[in-house]
Chain A
Amino acid sequence: MLRYLLWRSVYTVAVIFAASLVIFFTLRISPGTPEFIIHQPMAAEEERQRFREEQGLNDPIIVQYGNFLGDVFRGDLGTSIDSNIPVVDLIAEFGKNSAILVAAGVLVTFSIAIPLGVIAAVKRNSWIDQTIMGFAALGMGIPNFILALFLILVIGIELDWLPISGKGGIKHLILPTIVLAAEGVAVMLRLMRASMLDQLQQDYIRTLRAKGLSRWRTIWQHALRNALLPIISLSALQVAALIGYTFVVETIFRWPGISRLLIESILQRDYPVALMITLLFTIAVILANFVANIAYSLVDPRIRQETMLRV
């Protein structure tokens, strides 16, 4: 198990490095490199040259990458060209807001999807199942930006129940969280139902019933625990998807989060900010995968042993 953990960690770090390399080079070759933004195309050649020298843009690109890595490890994430604020501070401030949103989204997704998926499986083909699955189909069918607009229109404007933009108390969090979680709930619920149906047909369920365990325990303790195993590895995908949805949600609800900051910095060609946030998101996705893999092997005793033997 320890060796498996180690191997996974090394793999993950390697992937993060590879990703950082790709991101760095891709953003570096972009046509609108920073000096064109700061300095009008008309700017004097000397001035531009001085800027390039200052930013180290004249070095070979591999040296630039090396410098960049060195800076990052020293804790220097650069400074925003646009606002002159250190990127660390920007990320800390906007990141906190996004973290709140994502955490609420994850919480809502799993606490709704798992019980509903179990209920749908247990009551399969009944009206309860069909209602739940109908909502799931709706949740998958309605693109989240459309859902957001509908919610803004109906709940925010017509009924005037909840605020529709900005950050504030819990109330401000409700609509963004609903939109953020909607598709995830639908997807996870379907997966949960399928996984649960699979488990309910297993032989061990019959054994549990034969020894007089109640239906409740059979379902919510034994079948659920088994059914969650395949879900755990897929939950990393769900976290990644959630990160993707924050772009839409933060934009629509004008939530001062890091995704919106990324879009703005990209549009402003605020290269240091864009680079760091892109990198941060990528690392988050890769780490989510890492955690899911580890969690999966920790929870399933069979895998736990297998990985101990193999690695």
Chain B
Amino acid sequence: MTADATLLRILDLTVDLATEEGKVRPVDGVSLSLATGEILGLVGESGCGKTMTALAIMRLLPEPGSRTSGAVRLMDRDLLALPEADMRRVRGPSISMIFQEPMTSLDPVFTIGHQLTETMRAHHKIGRHEARERAIGILERVGIPNPAQRLNDYPHQLSGGMRQRVMIAIALILEPQLLIADEPTTALDVTIQAQILELIDDLRQRSHMSVLLISHDLAVVGQVAERVAVMYAGEVVETMPTTSLFVAPRHPYTQGLLRCIPGLAHDSGATEARLHVIEGRVPELRNLPPACRFAPRCPYAMDRCWNERPQLEKVADEQYLRCWNPQPFRA
């Protein structure tokens, strides 16, 4: 992939939040880039800063109380430097986002049709009739049966899977360059999960859109993403092509996550059928370990891991790692 095909480039993105208990930094120096038409998976346990990263890209962090620094470049524009009025025009036509709660992410008192058409009308001059036609078209594309009738439905009349499809329809109707999908399948049951993932992948291929797919579930990301970035406690700890993910992960945390996937342990010939868990828990943001943030939970932690902060370094082609003591992978 060539550098000029890069659609989104995040540089040293840092988010500071003021909470009741004091100030925390849920995203700390995250750098990522995303090529046109690429799906990048962003993985980590809940609370690791994935959603915060996404909201920071969209500039939708709670205000006041949050401060974002670094740079988020979409093509040649730094989104963090845009005036709010311009940023509003980025949301929707350039970047759109779907959220993990399909049950509550739609406005309950407006019809599906209204919520679709208002999206178009917020950005383009478009007639009522044409907007309606396009709304029906997009609902059809995301696989909603009887789209013309669904337009008059209220969100509560649809199932969770259907609502998530509507969410995707709203996000895609302006044909954005980038879709941020934050745990798009977490609230859905397994069969519908697969459908939604297929849908996203399919739409991406047809419209040449890039996708930032956020999930805590490596299996989900492994299905569709081309590259994976693993986050831990606000930092990116490892990034690699998905092809390497299941064979050559180097970071003990990534390896731990992989062993948590039920089917995978068997596939790769592991003798113990027991499901692995990573000992300990994600550190509190107010009380982070001094050097490597994973050190307290890491079975391979050395003195150096406690004293010196590891940096993200290239370890293989397209694979970057933040670890002092990388391990060869045994599933």
Q: In the assembly, what is the distance between CA of A44 and CA of B105, in Å?
A: 80
Q: Are A207 and B99 in contact (CB under 8 A)?
A: yes
Q: In the assembly, what is the distance between CA of A204 and CA of B107, in Å?
A: 5
Output the nearest chain B residue to A205 by Cβ-Cβ distance. B107
Interface residues on A, range: 20 to 34
Q: How far is the CB of B181 from chain A (nearest CB, A)?
A: 11
Residues from chain A with a CB closer than 8 A to the CB of B69 are none
Q: Are A226 and B107 in contact (CB under 8 A)?
A: yes
> Is the CB of A132 closer than 8 A to any CB of chain B?
no
Q: Mark B160-195, 1 if CB is under 8 A from A, else 0.
A: 000000010011001000000000000000000000
Output the nearest chain B residue to A300 by Cβ-Cβ distance. B109
A204-B105, A211-B170 given; A301·B93 CB < 8 A? no
Q: Are B92 and A206 in contact (CB under 8 A)?
A: no
> Is the CB of B313 closer than 8 A to any CB of chain A?
no
Q: Are B118 and A213 in contact (CB under 8 A)?
A: yes
Q: How far is the CB of A218 from chain B (nearest CB, A)?
A: 10
A301-B156, A302-B156 given; A217·B105 CB < 8 A? no
Q: In the assembly, what is the distance between CA of A211 and CA of B106, in Å?
A: 12
Residues from chain B with a CB closer than 8 A to the CB of A212 are 88-93, 96, 119, 122-123, 174
Q: Are A203 and B105 in contact (CB under 8 A)?
A: yes
> Is the CB of B224 closer than 8 A to any CB of chain A?
no
> Is the CB of A225 closer than 8 A to any CB of chain B?
yes
Task: Give the residue among A202, A211, A222, A229 with the most B Cβ atoms within 10 A.
Answer: A211
> Is the CB of B329 closer than 8 A to any CB of chain A?
no
> Is the CB of A40 closer than 8 A to any CB of chain B?
no
A209-B91, A211-B171 given; A204·B104 CB < 8 A? yes
Output the nearest chain A residue to B55 by Cβ-Cβ distance. A206
Q: Are A211 and B60 in contact (CB under 8 A)?
A: no
Q: In the assembly, what is the distance between CA of A253 and CA of B230, in Å?
A: 73
Q: In the assembly, what is the distance between CA of A226 and CA of B109, in Å?
A: 7
> Is the CB of B110 closer than 8 A to any CB of chain A?
yes
Q: In the assembly, what is the distance between CA of A206 and CA of B107, in Å?
A: 10
Q: In the assembly, what is the distance between CA of A229 and CA of B108, in Å?
A: 11
> Is the CB of A67 closer than 8 A to any CB of chain B?
no
Residues from chain B with a CB closer than 8 A to the CB of A208 are 107
Output the nearest chain B residue to A222 by Cβ-Cβ distance. B107
> Is the CB of A305 closer than 8 A to any CB of chain B?
yes
Q: Are B88 and A214 in contact (CB under 8 A)?
A: yes
Q: In the assembly, what is the distance between CA of A214 and CA of B91, in Å?
A: 10
> Is the CB of A146 closer than 8 A to any CB of chain B?
no
Q: Are A225 and B104 in contact (CB under 8 A)?
A: no
Q: Are A226 and B108 in contact (CB under 8 A)?
A: yes
> Is the CB of B306 closer than 8 A to any CB of chain A?
no
Output the nearest chain A residue to B103 by Cβ-Cβ distance. A203
Residues from chain A with a CB closer than 8 A to the CB of B99 are 203, 206-207, 210
Residues from chain B with a CB closer than 8 A to the CB of A203 are 99, 101, 104-105
Q: Are A206 and B156 in contact (CB under 8 A)?
A: no
Residues from chain B with a CB closer than 8 A to the CB of A229 are 109
Residues from chain B with a CB closer than 8 A to the CB of A204 are 104-108
Output the nearest chain A residue to B88 by Cβ-Cβ distance. A212
Residues from chain A with a CB closer than 8 A to the CB of B157 are 305
Q: Are B104 and A302 in contact (CB under 8 A)?
A: no
Q: In the assembly, what is the distance between CA of A206 and CA of B156, in Å?
A: 18
Q: Are B60 and A302 in contact (CB under 8 A)?
A: no
Q: How far is the CB of B164 from chain A (nearest CB, A)?
A: 12
Q: In the assembly, what is the distance between CA of A202 and CA of B155, in Å?
A: 15
Q: How far is the CB of A208 from chain B (nearest CB, A)?
A: 7
Q: In the assembly, what is the distance between CA of A214 and CA of B97, in Å?
A: 16
Q: Are B105 and A211 in contact (CB under 8 A)?
A: no
A206-B99, A210-B91, A212-B89 given; A302·B106 CB < 8 A? no
10 residue pairs, one from A and one from B, having the closest CB atoms = A212-B92, A212-B91, A301-B154, A203-B104, A210-B97, A204-B107, A203-B105, A211-B119, A207-B105, A211-B92
- Chain A interface residues toward B at CB < 8 A: 202-204, 206-214, 217, 222, 225-226, 229, 299-302, 305
Q: A207-B105, A212-B123, A229-B109 are in contact. List 9 more A-B contacts (CB 8 A).
A: A210-B97, A211-B174, A212-B89, A212-B93, A212-B122, A213-B88, A225-B109, A300-B108, A300-B109
